[in-house]
Amino acid sequence: MIYLISGGSGSGKSKFAEDEALKYNGRKLYIATMENKSSSAKERILKHRNMRQGKGFETLEKEKYFKDINLSAYEIVLLECLPNLTANHIYGGGNINMLYDDVEYLLQKAENLIIVTNDISSCALHYDEEVYKYIKILNQLACSIAERADKVIEVTAGIPIYHKGVK
């Protein structure tokens, strides 16, 4: 089963994704991709660690390069989040092919996979060309994952809207 869960910042998508993962009985792997390089990143990481506390997730804080993870040991894998993974590859020494390799590895090797992504392109802001390039790559990747996903869910104000698949 492949889930793609999307929503804006603070929409409740991460909580929803965790709740979906908790429906599985076996080992649960949470892959956290945020780079821990700024005070705001440290705050978000701490918030997410606190959200996961006591839920039975095994957490792997890994920014990119997933081929060394034995995903077959887990019943469910939750990737938090696709925008961070994308930025880590594009701006952090990887490249777009390695990004696609990481995503494909997850899609192929995880028995059940939840990928969390942000709807960052819906903001009515003016970005520079580099940000538009990033948004385009992220949106193309999300569309590709959505095609293969069993469930595509948008979370708005904590409410899930199913675009593909059923509750």
| 11-70 pLDDT per residue, tens | 999 999 999 999 999 999 999 998 777 677 678 778 777 777 888 999 998 999 999 999
Percent of the chain clearing pLDDT 70 (strictly above)? 96
CA distance 115 to 67: 17
Q: Give the whole-angstrom CA distance, residue 6 versus residue 114.
A: 11
pLDDT-based confidence at 143, cuts 50/70/90?
very high
Query: Residue 157 and residue 133: Cα distance in Å, rounded?
Result: 28
Structure tokens at 160: 């899930």
CA distance 102 to 100: 5
Give the CA dihedral 136, 60, 102, 123, nearest 10 degrees.
-10
Sketch out the chain's domains with CATH numbers.
2-164 (3.40.50.300)
pLDDT at 10 over 90: no
Question: Per residue in 141-166, is it b (16+ CB within 10 Å) or e — as a string?
Answer: bbeebbeebebbbbbeeeebeeeeee
